[in-house]
Every structure is written in structure tokens, then in C-alpha cells.
């Protein structure tokens, strides 16, 4: 299939072109930091930022979190999330 946008630059507000399962861990960083998180199931997701601050978010299924966290903690996370890049 032809990609009509192949020659254009991809920015932070562009549509994602890759997705990956995020495996929550209290110590292992996300391998490829995504542009956003997609919440596949409702629950709680604990996201750690670059400064090491962990915050808990209550999410609904289908919610998109436009945040580039470095890790999703296993402790406290009940939602299933995917990374969009």
C-alpha cells in the first residue's frame, strides 16, 4: 500500500505509526518511550516521569494519556496500557 505521507516529518501531534504493549515494572524503564499511552482496560495506571515522580491516574477503557512517561509502575497499576509511537 502506498504511503502518501512517507516524505513528511512526524511530529508529536502526528498520528502514531507503531504500538507496543507496556509491561508495568517498578524498576525497568520503558524501552522505547512512547508519545502517548492508550488505556485498553479501565483501572489505575501509575506513571513515572523523567524526574522519578510517580503519579496515579484513574483511567477508562479507550482513554489516551498524552504523556511521555519513562516507566509504568507495577505497584498500583491495574489498567492495561499500550504505548503509541
Q: Rounded mean pLDDT of 8-37?
A: 87
**Domain coordinates of the chain in residue numbers?**
19-84
**pTM across the whole model:** 0.85
Q: How many other CB atoms sit within 10 Å of the CB of residue 80?
A: 17
- Phi and psi at residue 36, to the nearest 5°: -160, 160
Residue 35 near residue 68 (C-beta atoms within 8 A): yes
pLDDT tens profile 40-81: 999 999 999 999 999 999 999 999 999 999 999 999 999 999
At 64, is the secondary structure helix, strand, or coil? strand
Instruction: Write down the pLDDT at residue 6.
Output: 73
Higher pLDDT: 25 or 16? It is: 25
* Residues 23 and 30: beta-carbon distance below 8 Å: no
| Cα(2)–Cα(40) distance, integer angstroms | 29
Give the residue, 46 or 35, on which the prediction is more confident: 46
Amino acid at each position: 500500500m502506498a504511503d502518501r505521507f512517507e516524505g513528511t516529518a512526524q511530529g508529536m501531534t502526528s498520528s502514531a505509526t507503531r504500538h507496543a504493549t507496556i509491561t508495568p515494572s517498578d524498576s525497568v524503564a520503558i524501552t522505547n518511550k512512547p508519545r502517548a499511552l492508550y488505556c485498553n482496560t479501565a483501572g489505575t495506571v501509575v506513571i513515572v516521569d523523567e524526574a522519578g515522580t510517580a503519579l496515579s491516574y484513574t483511567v477508562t477503557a479507550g482513554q489516551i494519556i498524552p504523556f511521555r512517561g519513562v516507566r509504568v509502575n507495577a505497584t498500583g497499576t491495574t489498567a492495561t496500557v499500550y504505548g503509541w509511537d
